[in-house]
Amino acid sequence: MSLTPEQKKQLRTIGHKLNPIVTVAGKGLTENLQLEVDRALDDHELIKVKFAVGEREIKKQLIQELCTIVECTLVQEIGNIALIYRKALEPNPKLSNLLR
């Protein structure tokens, strides 16, 4: 899914106040971590993921791999934090970061 620059700007504005929900560390992209990110995207649509891995190239590779696995779009990557987005089929107004 491709986002326009205006959509990315709007999502970055919303994502600025969010805290990371999931942290990817030494074990990498485990199955449980993938399930948790998938669940969080279903609930919130827009989330932050923290990558506590050493090298920049490894981090970029993990971000791309995670986006491919959970079928989401990378909105922004700053430092160790990635802001990712996936539109929910039936967004919950109480949980969605976009509707609150």
pLDDT at 8 over 80: yes
In a domain, 93, yes or no: no
Residue 40 has pLDDT above 90, yes or no: yes
In a domain, 39, yes or no: yes
CATH at residue 60: 3.30.110.60
Task: Answer yes or no: is pLDDT of 100 > 90.
Answer: no
**Does residue 94 sit within a domain?**
no
Whether 25 is in a domain gets the answer: yes
The residue-averaged pLDDT of 13-18 equals: 97
Is the model's pLDDT at 95 over the cut of 90?
Answer: yes
Quote the Cα angle for 90-12-72, to 5°.
45
Report yes or no on 97 lying in a domain: no
Enter the DSSP assignment of 85. E
Residue pLDDT, tens place only, 56-93 = 999 999 999 999 999 999 999 999 999 999 999 899 99
pLDDT at 68: 97
d(Cα 52, Cα 28) in Å, to the nearest integer? 9
Residue 58's domain comprises 5-85
**Backbone region of residue 73 per phi and psi (left: phi > 0; alpha: psi in -120 to 50; beta: other values):** beta
Number of domains in the chain: 1
Going by the DSSP 8-state scheme, the letter that residue 14 receives in this structure is H
Residue at 91 is within a domain: no
Residue pair 51/37 in contact by the 8 Å Cβ criterion: no
